[in-house]
Amino acid sequence: MMTRLRCVMKARKSQIDVMTDKWIRGKSMGRQLERISQGLNTKIPLVITEGNRHPEVPMQAAMLASEGGIVIRQHMPILTHWKEYKNDKSYLEDFVGRIGGQFAIDTKNKDVKYACADLMRCNQRQMSYKLKKAYFNGVAADKVRTTSPLSTMIDEQWMQLVNMWSTPKHKEHTLLCCSKEHAVTYLVFQQNIPSSKEQAGT
């Protein structure tokens, strides 16, 4: 059983390494959209109606979500709290501007700005979680890197994240999440292990 668990943890580390490689690769911003736009000879339109956080058309919503994630990974620093982005409007303006560069959309429309802000907030939280999982969780305190793993962040911004993750509140949350992950992994193995009767029948 322990051997199987170690194999899973090793596979998980490999997945994290692959994911990290994707973060630091060359720019991928808009390549697919550029090909589609060139075929249509125009930018792809996005329609966001009042009160909605994303386009009602599923394909438009999926493409917006994909490009929003790329903007965060390729161009935005990951700060400790969303309020830091709210206090500095340039982050949201840059995000909305880059989205507007890929789609036919009114970047001055309040509903568009609201939808982009929500998309940016969700992606920022996801990216923060992924960074913590890849570079902090399970790493000894003296082994945690002190330099930013991303070109979009300076070392000072990275250390602010590390210091936040090092607080008792976040450590307790990490232990809880890890316990849940191990419980799920153990349950999956239990379900996949043949019973003694099944083994006897083989």
Look-up: residue for tokens 């966001």?
Answer: 48
- Mean pLDDT score of the chain, rounded to an integer? 79
pLDDT for 173 beyond 90: no
Angle at the Cα of 189 (from 186 to 191), degrees rounded to 5? Answer: 110
45 φ/ψ angles, rounded to the nearest 5 degrees: -75, 145
Q: At what angle do helices 110-135 and 2-24 cross, to 10 degrees?
A: 130
Q: Would residue 179 count as lying in a domain?
A: yes
Q: Would residue 10 count as lying in a domain?
A: no
Q: Would residue 112 count as lying in a domain?
A: yes
Q: Would residue 16 count as lying in a domain?
A: no
Q: Would residue 22 count as lying in a domain?
A: no
Domain that holds residue 103: 31-190
Residues with Cβ < 8 Å from 174, sequence gap 6 or more? Answer: 132, 136, 137, 165
Give the tokens for residue 150.
Answer: 């991303």
- Rounded to two decimals, what is the model's pTM? 0.69
Distance CA 202, CA 194 (A): 10
Query: What would the pLDDT profile of 77-99 be if each residue is shown by its tens digit?
Result: 999 999 999 999 999 999 999 99
Query: What would the pLDDT profile of 86-143 be if each residue is shown by its tens digit?
Result: 999 999 999 999 999 999 999 999 999 999 999 999 999 999 999 999 999 999 999 9
Q: Would residue 1 count as lying in a domain?
A: no
Contact 68, 11 (CB under 8 A): no
Write down the pLDDT at residue 43: 85
Residues with Cβ < 8 Å from 42, sequence gap 6 or more? Answer: 104
Distances (CA, A) of 130 to 24, 150, 151, 176: 14, 12, 16, 16
pLDDT for 159 beyond 50: yes
H helices present in 76-140, as ranges: 82-87, 89-102, 110-135
Q: Would residue 157 count as lying in a domain?
A: yes
Query: What would the pLDDT profile of 42-52 be if each residue is shown by its tens digit?
Result: 788 899 999 88
Q: At what angle do helices 155-165 and 110-135 cross, to 10 degrees?
A: 70
Give the tokens for residue 175.
Answer: 């232990």
**Count of the separate structural domains present in the chain:** 1
Q: Would residue 8 count as lying in a domain?
A: no
pLDDT for 162 beyond 80: yes
